[in-house]
Amino acid sequence: MKIALTKHSALTVVDVQNDFIPGGALPVPEGDKVVEPLNKYIEMFRRQGLPIVATRDWHPPNHMSFKEYGGIWPPHCIQNSWGAEFHPDLHLPRDTIIISKATEPDKEAYSGFEGTDLHNILKDKGVRRVFVGGLATDYCVKNTVLDALKLGYETILLMDAIKGVDVNEGDSERAITEMITNGAIGISMEDIFIV
């Protein structure tokens, strides 16, 4: 399947942060492997002058998702920490739109759209087709993709630029199936053409 990169397209890079990379507080196995393909997508969108969004977990130290406060995760991506920074090898342009999520102690937000201005920003830029890659397939990528679909975006899942945490074996495969079943289109780099 071929998918066009049109003037109504935007790239969304989900949570490629130090804490989700091997060596971080909540590592996604082989999470660093998404960086190189994402850099290629970033360059492709940058050359076309298309919007590039980067979401990030931006938790307060007492966030509800942390085990200490009743959640299921170790503390991670705490605001202004090394772990919350984007991976140093991720080549985000200076004009990247940064979306911080899960910023309040008592609110979870796996999706880049949840409790943020992302939808309004994309609408203002005339975006109708979103290309989504990043971490982790079975949590923040899945929820961002499902919300994009609910909001009416044509949603493209970058199969060569996602990795899952797989808390339960097979979670990532099930997440991909759920995204595709709900209308996302799974592609790789060679499926994109410029119009």
Residue 77 lies in a domain: no
pLDDT value at position 165? 94
Give the Cα separation of 164 and 144 in Å (integer).
14
pLDDT value at position 1? 78
Residue 46 lies in a domain: yes
Provide the residue-wise pLDDT of the chain in tens; the chain has 195 residues: 799 999 999 999 999 999 999 999 999 999 999 999 999 999 999 999 999 999 999 999 999 999 999 999 999 999 999 999 999 999 999 999 999 999 999 999 999 999 999 999 999 999 999 999 999 999 999 999 999 999 999 999 999 999 999 999 999 999 999 999 999 999 999 999 987
Give the Cα separation of 110 and 144 in Å (integer).
7
pLDDT value at position 195? 77
Give the Cα separation of 107 and 90 in Å (integer).
28
Which one of 19, 57, 77, 101 is the catalytic residue?
101
CATH number of the domain that residue 102 is part of: 3.40.50.850
Residue 72 lies in a domain: no
Residue 80 lies in a domain: no
pLDDT value at position 185? 98
Residue 79 lies in a domain: no
Domains of the chain: total: 1
Place of tokens 């996302």: 184
Residue 68 lies in a domain: no
User: Hey, is 191 helix, strand or coil?
Assistant: helix
pLDDT value at position 194? 86
Is 15 designated active site? yes
Residue 66 lies in a domain: no
Contact in structure between 57 and 11 (CB atoms under 8 Å): no
Which one of 77, 138, 140, 147 is the catalytic residue?
140
Residue 162 lies in a domain: yes
Residue 141: which domain range?
3-58+86-194
Helix boundaries (H) for the chain: 35-47, 118-124, 142-150, 171-181
